[in-house]
Structure 1
């Protein structure tokens, strides 16, 4: 069976989980413990980042490489169009989702942690004592902003990333006005890349990911709650409802430590 080495809360891993569910491929998840677990990951794959897919003796790192591998090895329910122009657009949009949406979504999520205590505490497990929840929620935003400074998450970085994501969401809404999927009448890799990588902007409405129930349907203020982008979130909800399996704690659900990983 396919094994997905992952961080449960990683948006790049969510991209691959969407693809696996769409292709109806059984798989198990192996939750990588940040730090020490990544040493073992390096020994196996030659690098420390998730996701990594293991299929018998084959080990594939990087979400794009994994998508290409799955498309080659499991061509049923194809992800990539056969028409050359559509195929080119599909790969371009997947790369754009990785580099623009994925990178900037991580930045605005860190910014939301520093500015909105309720968003921070929503990520804590349900069993977290109230005292600890209150402590996390009361950490001053300027302290968290200071911690982010120097690693690409300072106030200016957050503002810039927010503006880029507004433009991205506007473009996606325009594309989806006249067609059900980003490249036309059938879902492609572009759709699953965009859907998975927008997880940090707004978490799925139902518990598809093994995260606290309280985080469902919550997102970055100023992006997730803007009426102008509501059509996009409705589109993503439909995509999830049609193709993503709900988390049940079974073989396709991660049950290890939940960590927002900086891949």
Structure 2
């Protein structure tokens, strides 16, 4: 049963929205998903978040913005299951990697590939810039290799336990996978990591996402690729 007071204003192919959706689902906090075409700058939406970005969480009569701040808030009010470790040094590593994906990976890969292939069409801002697409396709290889290097030493990206770092990475990669932009054959260890995350119950709603004008590729929701 959905709690009528919990709403998440999101866009299906927003990695920041997906990171929050994964955190909510992992903690079994039910929310109603409200799709928000945030680039249309609807006045009602701008009142909820003057930054004009998704996700925005409406919970218990209060409004929360910024995906990382939301995830940390959820961790504080709903500590189980934990997505941030107890020890300061390990918490630092999770936060470092969340920032890595949400800043560096987003700037070098997601905004270049998803931005050109999907959002240009959705927002009606012209044709894809092939230079950006090439740069994004080149950069993702470096990031996948970095993930492989981390996963060679750890069970999950930030350590031995699943954390917000894994959800941040999976949020970006699942959006890119929706437009078939991830070469899963580049690294067996990264592919195994994604298969493990993809098969978690928390991931189910992401695999059901449909964006009109962009049909799901056949492998996207297949748990065995």
Of Structure 1 and Structure 2, which has the larger fraction of its residues in helix?
2
User: What is aligned with 1:108?
Assistant: 113
User: What is aligned with 2:46?
Assistant: 42
1:100 CA drift (Å): 1.9
Aligned positions of 1:48-87 closer than 5 A: 48-87=52-91
- Output the CA distance in 1 between the equivalents of 2:149 and 2:213: 34
- Output the CA distance in 2 between the equivalents of 1:60 and 1:27: 13
Q: Which runs of 5+ in 2 are unaligned?
A: 215-225
1:79 CA drift (Å): 1.2
| TM-score, normalised with respect to structure 2 | 0.78
User: What is aligned with 1:133?
Assistant: none
1:146 CA drift (Å): 6.5
1:48 CA drift (Å): 1.4
1:193-247 deviation line (CA, Å, top 9, x unaligned): 11111123213xxxxxxxxxxxxxx512xxx235223431331121121242523
Equivalent residues of 1:29, 1:254 under 8 A apart: no
- Output the CA distance in 2 between the equivalents of 1:145 and 1:3: 29
- Output the CA distance in 2 between the equivalents of 1:232 and 1:168: 11
User: What is aligned with 1:165?
Assistant: 140
1:56 CA drift (Å): 2.1
> Which deviates more from structure 2 when the two are superposed, residues 97-106 or residues 31-40?
31-40
- Match of 1:247, SS state, is helix
1:73 CA drift (Å): 1.3
1:147 to 111, 115, 127: 127
1:189 to 136, 141, 164: 164
User: What is aligned with 2:191?
Assistant: 233
1:19 to 18, 23, 44: 23
Cα RMSD (Å): 3.0
User: What is aligned with 2:95?
Assistant: 91
| TM-score, normalised with respect to structure 1 | 0.68
Runs of 4+ residues over 6 Å off in structure 1:
none
Q: Which protein shows a greater Rg?
A: 1
Residues 92 and 145 (structure 1 numbering): CA distance in 2 closer, same or farther, change over 3 Å? same
- Output the CA distance in 2 between the equivalents of 1:31 and 1:111: 21
Q: Which runs of 5+ in 1 are unaligned?
A: 114-119, 124-143, 149-153, 204-217
